[in-house]
Homo-oligomer: A and B are copies of this chain.
Amino acid sequence: METPAFMPVGTQATVKTLLPSEVRATGAQIVLANTYHLMLRPGLPTLQAAGGLHQFMGWNGPILTDSGGFQIFSLGGNVRVREEGVTFRSHIDGRALELTPEQAVALQLGWGSDILMPLDHLVGLPAETRTVQDAMDRTHRWLERAVIAFDEFGGTTSALFGICQGGMDEHLRRESAATLAEANVAGCAIGGLSVGEPKPVMAAMLEVVTPLLPLNKPRYLMGVGSPEDLWMGVARGVDLFDCVLPTRLARNGALFTPEGRVNIKNRRFAEVHAPLDETCDCEACQGFTAAYIHHLFRAREVLALRLASVHNLRFLAREMETIRHAIDNGSFSGAYRAFQDRYRPVGSNELSTESVVSLN
């Protein structure tokens, strides 16, 4: 796979609303899936009986799976962290469950993930430094156990990444990055960012972390997916990104254009009998007008969600193609300025308060 790359998210073994062939057609070369969701449903035995996750979902490219940590800690209630691992309750049936660093590796290897993430400990922010440090230290200890488990369970065709934590604390971030740089991992993820902090804070944390990470291993900024953040991240040395943002926004009618984001449900699109984005080569813009997609959203038709998802994923893939091309040409700075000149991001206040509740 080429990098830098944005990785579409297929939480439950499907990139929401799309066929694998459609995801591929947007230019995606790798997809994400979610360990927390997959372990609950359909579960490891089913995935193994199916011949693995790739076979089950019909995706023949690489798959990265997260560790489940982020989802478990996002559940809020009923989560207990011990040194051994984390106990929590299923959001589906309330079952009490446990996940250890070793189990997280075993699950991901079991269903055949290509890139595995180790279990990490996240804390809600703001939090006291001591709390953030404690979680970071545990993340580091859990990584050691994940590395041993990965070795032991025979991850020869897969890659295990490590995760940098440390909240918004510069010193902790440095310590975590240094630890990660020494770890026996194939790549370095940066977790715990894009969790509501102002964008300059995220950029500052990246500037602290990325110079300390090995140059010969990919860096993966977790949970980031707005066009402006992709450019910002690449400018700071990031290779991989993932986020539900483009597909979730799509299902709410928020579509990327070269000048910024628009909401296709807005009345002004009712009579736009032309593609939403004349420059876009996605299936939605090539085959349908903005007025039709507007109509589908107004009529609450499922096809609306599909066309919007295809468009937003293709938009991000094209941004990444532009970025890769610029890097190859040594013209990244100029390309970044050109992006900043044309693309007007949604304000960060607006970003954090906007309703992005999914239709499903």
Contact = CB atoms under 8 A, between A and B. Distances in A.
Interface of A: 12-14, 16-19, 37, 41-42, 46, 49-51, 56-58, 270-271, 273, 283, 287-289, 291-292, 295-296, 298-303, 305-306, 360
Copies of this chain held together in the complex? 2
Nearest to A40: B299
Contact of A271 (B19, B46, B292, B360): B46
26 contacts: A12-B295, A12-B301, A14-B296, A14-B299, A16-B301, A17-B302, A17-B303, A17-B306, A19-B283, A19-B306, A37-B299, A41-B295, A41-B298, A41-B299, A42-B291, A42-B298, A46-B291, A49-B271, A49-B291, A50-B291, A56-B289, A56-B295, A58-B287, A302-B302, A302-B306, A302-B360
B303 A19 contact: yes
Given A42-B291, A42-B295, A299-B41, A50 B273 contact: yes
A301 B46 contact: no
B292 A50 contact: yes
A58 B18 CA distance: 19
A59 to B, nearest CB: 11
Q: Which 4 A-B pairs have the closest CB atoms?
A: A17-B302, A12-B299, A42-B295, A14-B303
Contacts of A270: 42, 46
Contacts of A19: 283, 287, 303, 306
A58 B292 contact: yes
